[in-house]
């Protein structure tokens, strides 16, 4: 059966079982998100996709669409909350866009631009996080992890390898490699894995690639995140 | 070649005058002068007060990130650091010879930077002193004053710089802090549209550069008493020179001469630079003092930059700049010119050369090629050297088997000129301040001497964990309760 709800006043069709963000994407409407990926079960952790449904906050990646819902997304209030969440992600890790090879291809950076983030606003934590360069083909730079868990889900659900996991609780939550040594080299991870391709930031990187794509030809140089095909039609 | 006026015997009895900050230079520095009751000068020091740390925090990072990260040392000539690092990492990735397109794209980027940096320094920072006088009305002694009194000169300065920035943009992707060079090559070639856009302007850029040489030559030769002696000191000098001893800003071998122009070393592969050069740390500055090992600390220091390069090379490959070089050498009378103010003249000769090289490159179809990268046998260590606008720039890295940087050593152009700048300001202090009432105009003489070298003080203080530190805890009566020092 096909139904509709309204999103910022626009009528959005959906089918049974679709979440709000899935229906919005199918209709070409962008809702900011980081931990959501159309190929994986929703995680609902980053809260960037928060919308108001009938006046109450909810994550649009986990809330199923229902007929007649009144959904608000692009409002000043919600975008201010999204911007604050994004700023918190920036200060919790070490995100140095000027020297990051993911710059221009980074979903966190593109989202910050989309939300009009002009500064980090909060004091930086400057956490001391290591780089795992043990794997011959891939580099893990934990400084940039935003705990979206996409690599965890991809490795577990698609690759069947369980290479990654989230450990610790609350503010101490961190990404780990499931090996006795804790090193990526001691796992069966390869660049062909789905987990190697889903990182929205610059944690899982193909080695020796660096800045091979010139400025002007990077993903978000060509179009803002709200207009890229991946975000509106599914990756 | 002595350390006279570096350290006063009894500083506690002397009056301290500080120029803080030194203005119209890149970065932050200060000069302190210790005077007695008769205004006699006892100590003069150029202090570099910035604190950076790139050598330290680059450690543990993947090597391919380095050229983009280290260029953040500077916003004026980031291309120098970008390319020096890329050259060092070419060695690491085994790229012994770049493709023609890659090398020429890098050259174009570098010569564009040379043009914009020299134009910025001459027109924006120094022309007020040179056109109005060192102790002229301080309210007009700035670029706005130049724009009012000499609008065409100021306009050309702005447009020359803009053209150089545009060359950088099309080769690196951005005017400041781009990504064009990568270990083993470049990430883009020039498009026909980009080339044609630059070709529209290059001919008058060359002409304006010729006019700039004429301007500074006239200023210099009209007042030889001042320009040939102001802040003068004799020293060794060094630069890289290209094939056949040509002036070359991008690549070559190291050549050093003594103050009489006699060769100290030549044809030195810069991979072995640390067999020839050593750095000394002194407790009063964050900037190190390099010297030639074979001569030693006291007499082995040297100068770099335009005055060194133009007199160190055998010839310049482009016709207009070579003509101007010969004029300069003739004026110097057959022996090296050591006057700091001659830096301005030679800097403009270099700007002309950069413009001519850009013109040649824009007619070279290799820039439009598609063969951008080479690789070879991986190495663990590499050195990259380039002639930056301010002088010879060394980048030296070691990279482990996992591709992470384990060691970085940078010897920056301004660091090479550290002792030279201190000598120049001591000479000026002795000549102009000694025994006189200190005025703003007299203090500007000190700054004029520093500006001649076009120092970039932010670049020059890149080390972390190596400088000596002294920490003193003092009680309200001024007694030292506790002190800690690291040397």
Maximum distance among all Cα pairs of chain A, rounded to whole angstroms? 53
Q: What is the count of residue pairs from A and B with beta carbons less than 8 Å apart?
A: 55
Within-domain flag for A32: yes
Quick: pLDDT tens for B173-218.
999 999 999 999 999 999 999 999 999 999 999 999 999 999 999 9
Q: Is the ipTM of this complex over 0.90?
A: yes
State whether A112 and A195 are in the same domain: yes
Q: Are B448 and B455 in contact (CB under 8 A)?
A: no
Distance from CA of B187 to the nearest CA of A (A): 5
More confident residue, B43 or B357: B357
Spatial separation of the C-alpha atoms in residues B125 and B116, rounded to whole Å: 13
> What percentage of chain A has pLDDT greater than the value 90?
94
Q: Which region, left, alpha or beta, applies to residue A127 given φ > 0 means left and ψ of -120 to 50 means alpha? A: beta
- Whether a cis peptide bond, with omega within 30° of 0, leads into B21 is yes
CB contact under 8 A, B68 and A211: yes
Nearest CA in chain A to B180: A214
The reply to whether A10 and A120 lie within a common domain is no
Q: CB neighbours of B177 closer than 8 A, spacing ≥ 6?
A: A98, B68, B71, B72, B75, B78
How far CA A188 is from CA of A136, A161, B166, in Å, comes to 12, 7, 47
B183 and A210 within 8 Å at the Cβ level: the answer is: yes
What are the residues whose beta carbons fall under 8 Å from the beta carbon of B144, sequence distance 6 or more?
none
Cβ–Cβ contact A105 with B under 8 A: no
User: Is A211 near chain B, with CB under 8 Å?
Assistant: yes
Q: Which of A94, A97, A98, A99 to mutate to test the interface with B (most CBs of B within 10 A)?
A: A99
At B30-79, the pLDDT tens digits run 788 888 888 888 888 887 666 667 888 899 999 999 999 999 888 778 99
Average pLDDT over residues B343-348: 96
Condensed to tens digits (0 to 9), the pLDDT of residues B402-459 reads 999 999 988 888 888 889 988 888 888 888 888 888 788 888 888 888 888 887 765 5
CA closest to A143 among chain B residues: B61
Average of per-residue pLDDT across A188-196: 98
Same domain? For A216 and A192 the reply is: yes
In a domain, A81, yes or no: no
Q: How confident is the model at residue B203, as a pLDDT?
A: 97
Same domain membership, residue A148 and residue A69: no
Of residues A98, A210, A213, nearest to B64 (C-beta): A210
User: CA-CA distance, B103 to B84, in Å (whole number)?
Assistant: 13
From chain A, pick out residues whose CB is under 8 angstroms from the CB of B178: 215
The set of residues, in sequence order, having a beta carbon less than 8 Å from that of B273 and lying 6+ positions away, is: B254, B383, B385, B394, B396, B411
Return the pLDDT at A86: 98
Do residue A70 and residue A94 come from a single domain?
no
Which residues of chain A lie closer than 8 angstroms to B173, CB-CB?
Answer: 214-216
- Tokens representing residue B150 in the block: 């000499």
Q: Which residue has the tokens 């055998």?
A: B314
Q: Which two tokens stand for residue B364?
A: 């070279």
Tell me the pairing of strands A2-7 and A204-206.
Answer: unpaired
Look at residue A82 and tell me if it is in a domain: no
Judge residue B148's burial from the number of C-beta atoms within 10 Å of its C-beta, 0-12 exposed, 13-18 middle, 19 or more buried.
exposed
Contact predicate B316/B325, CB 8 Å: yes
Could you give the 3-state DSSP secondary structure of residue B9?
Answer: coil
Least CB–CB distance from B173: residue in A134, A209, A216: A216
Give yes or no for residue B481 having a pLDDT over 60. no
Residues present in chain B in total: 487
Residues in chain A: 235
Whether residues A202 and A101 fall in one domain? yes
Same domain, A168 and A62: no
- Claim to verify: residue A100 and residue A205 sit in the same structural domain: yes
- CB-neighbour burial class of residue A118 (10 A; exposed 0-12, middle 13-18, buried 19+): exposed
pLDDT value of position B28: 67
Whole-angstrom Cα distance, residue B169 to residue B174? 4
Please write the tens of the pLDDT for every residue from B277-290.
998 888 777 778 89
Q: What are the tokens at A185?
A: 């080299």
State the DSSP H helix or E strand holding residue B345, giving kind and residue range, or none if neither: helix B342-362
Cβ contact, residue pair A214, B173, below 8 Å = yes
- Residue B130 tokens, joined: 């040179």
Structural domain range at position A7: 2-74
| B61 CB-near residues (< 8 Å, 6+ apart) | A131, B69, B404, B405
- Is there a single domain that holds both residue A101 and residue A16? no
Q: How high does pLDDT run on average in chain B?
A: 89
Q: State the average pLDDT over residues B81-105.
A: 97
Closest residue to B72, CB basis, from A99, A139, A214: A99
Q: Do strands B302-303 and B236-241 pair parallel, antiparallel, or not at all (unpaired)?
A: parallel
Which residues make beta-bridge pairs with B238? B256
pLDDT tens across B100-146, in order? Answer: 999 999 999 999 999 999 999 999 888 888 888 888 888 888 888 88
How close B179 comes to chain A (CA, Å)? 6
Mean pLDDT of B349-361: 98
State phi, psi for B25 to the nearest 5 degrees.
-130, 165
Report the gap between the CA of B384 and the closest CA in chain A (Å).
19
**Is pLDDT at B392 greater than 90 in this prediction?**
yes
Question: Is pLDDT above 80 for A186?
Answer: yes
Assess whether A58 and A107 both reside in one domain: no
* pLDDT for the residue numbered A234: 44
Phi-psi region of A62 (alpha: psi -120 to 50; beta: other; left: phi over 0): alpha
Q: Which residue of B has its CA nearest to A100?
A: B65
Summarised one tens digit per residue, pLDDT across range A48-60 is 999 999 999 999 9
Looking at the partner chain, which of A101, A213, A216 has a beta carbon nearest the beta carbon of B65? A101
Q: For residue A64, give the CATH number of its domain.
A: 3.10.20.740
Shared domain check, A122 and A69? no
The region that residue B334 occupies, defined by phi over 0 for left and psi between -120 and 50 for alpha, beta otherwise, is: left
Residues on B contacting A at a C-beta cutoff of 8 Å: 60-62, 64-65, 67-69, 72, 93, 172-174, 177-180, 182-183, 187-188, 402-404
Into how many domains does chain A fold?
A: 2
> Average of pLDDT values for B231-257?
96
SS3 label, residue A171: helix
For residue A233, being part of any structural domain is answered with: no
Task: Show residues of chain B in contact with A134, CB under 8 Å.
Answer: 402
Of all residues in chain B, the percent with pLDDT exceeding 90 is 62
CA B466 from chain center: how many Å? 22
Q: State both tokens at B478.
A: 């001024």
Q: Decide if A14 is inside a domain.
A: yes
pLDDT of B23? 64
Q: Is residue A231 part of a domain?
A: no
CATH at A122 = 3.30.70.20
pLDDT given at position B24: 59
Residue A161 included in any domain = yes
Within a domain: A234:
no
Query: Of A74, A101, A121, which residue constitutes the final position of a domain?
Result: A74
| Statement to judge: residues A68 and A91 lie in one domain | no
Confidence at B479, pLDDT banded by 50, 70, 90: low
Cα B198 to chain centroid distance, Å, stands at 26
In this complex, do A98 and B178 lie within 8 Å of one another by their Cβ atoms? Answer: no
């Amino acid at each position: 059966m096909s139904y509709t709800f309204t999103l910022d006043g626009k009528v959005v069709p959906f089918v049974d079982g679709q979440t709000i963000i899935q229906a919005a994407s199918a209709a070409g409407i962008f809702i900011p998100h980081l931990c959501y990926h159309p190929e994986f079960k929703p995680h609902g952790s980053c809260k960037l996709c928060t919308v108001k449904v009938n006046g109450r906050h909810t994550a649009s990646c986990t809330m199923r669409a229902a007929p007649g819902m009144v959904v608000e997304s692009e409002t000043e209030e919600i975008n201010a909350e999204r911007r604050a969440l994004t700023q918190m992600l920036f200060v919790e890790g070490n995100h140095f866009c000027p020297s990051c090879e993911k710059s221009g291809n980074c979903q966190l950076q593109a989202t910050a631009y989309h939300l009009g983030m002009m500064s980090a606003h909060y004091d930086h934590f400057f956490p001391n996080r290591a780089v795992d360069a043990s794997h011959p083909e891939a580099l893990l730079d934990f400084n940039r992890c935003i705990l979206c868990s996409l690599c965890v889900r991809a490795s577990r659900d698609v690759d069947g390898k369980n290479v990654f996991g989230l450990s610790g609780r609350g503010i101490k939550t961190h990404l780990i490699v499931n090996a006795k040594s804790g090193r990526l080299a001691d796992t069966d991870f390869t660049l062909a894995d789905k987990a190697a391709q889903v990182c929205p930031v610059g944690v899982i990187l193909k080695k020796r690639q660096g800045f091979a794509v010139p400025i002007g030809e990077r993903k978000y140089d060509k179009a803002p995140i709200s207009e890229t095909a991946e975000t509106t039609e599914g990756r | 070649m002595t350390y006279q006026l570096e350290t006063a015997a009894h500083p506690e009895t002397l009056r301290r005058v500080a120029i803080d900050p030194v203005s119209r230079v890149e970065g932050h520095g200060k000069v302190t002068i210790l005077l007695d009751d008769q205004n006699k000068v006892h100590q003069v020091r150029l202090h570099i007060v910035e604190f950076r740390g790139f050598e330290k925090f680059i450690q543990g990072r993947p090597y391919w990130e380095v050229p983009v990260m280290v260029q953040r040392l500077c916003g004026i000539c980031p291309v120098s650091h970008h390319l020096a690092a890329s050259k060092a990492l070419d060695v690491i990735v085994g790229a012994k010879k770049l493709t023609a397109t890659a090398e020429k794209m890098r050259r174009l980027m570098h010569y564009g930077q040379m043009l914009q940096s020299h134009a910025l320094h001459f027109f924006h920072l120094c022309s007020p002193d040179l056109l109005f006088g060192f102790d002229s009305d301080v309210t007009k002694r700035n670029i706005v004053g130049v724009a009012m009194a000499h609008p065409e000169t100021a306009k050309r300065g702005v447009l020359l710089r803009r053209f150089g920035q545009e060359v950088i943009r099309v080769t690196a992707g951005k005017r400041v802090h781009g990504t064009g060079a990568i270990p083993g090559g470049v990430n883009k070639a020039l498009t026909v549209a980009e080339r044609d856009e630059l070709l529209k302007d290059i001919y008058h850029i060359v002409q304006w550069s010729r006019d700039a040489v004429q301007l500074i030559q006239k200023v210099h030769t009209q007042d030889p008493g001042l320009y040939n002696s102001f802040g003068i000191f004799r020293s060794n000098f060094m630069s890289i020179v290209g094939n056949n001893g040509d002036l070359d800003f991008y690549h070559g071998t190291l050549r050093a001469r003594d103050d009489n122009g006699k060769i100290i070393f030549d044809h030195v592969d810069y991979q072995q630079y640390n067999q020839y050069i050593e750095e000394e740390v002194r407790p009063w500055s964050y900037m190190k003092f390099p010297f030639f090992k074979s001569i030693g600390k006291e007499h082995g220091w040297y100068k770099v930059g335009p005055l060194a390069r133009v007199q160190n090379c055998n010839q310049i490959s482009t016709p207009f700049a070579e003509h101007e070089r010969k004029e300069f050498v003739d004026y110097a009378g057959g022996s090296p010119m050591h006057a700091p103010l001659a830096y301005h003249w030679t800097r403009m000769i270099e700007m002309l050369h950069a413009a001519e090289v850009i013109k040649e490159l824009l007619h070279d179809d290799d820039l439009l090629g598609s063969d951008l990268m080479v690789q070879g046998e991986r190495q663990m260590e590499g050195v990259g050297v380039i002639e930056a606008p301010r002088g010879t720039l060394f980048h030296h890295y070691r990279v482990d088997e996992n591709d992470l940087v384990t060691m970085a050593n940078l010897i920056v152009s301004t660091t090479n000129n550290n002792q030279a700048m201190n000598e120049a300001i001591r000479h000026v202090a002795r000549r102009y301040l000694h025994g006189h009432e200190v005025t703003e105009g007299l203090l500007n003489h000190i700054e004029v001497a520093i500006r001649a070298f076009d120092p970039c003080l932010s670049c020059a203080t890149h080390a972390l964990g190596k400088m000596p530190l002294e920490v003193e805890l003092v009680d309200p009566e001024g007694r030292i309760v506790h002190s800690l020092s690291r040397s």
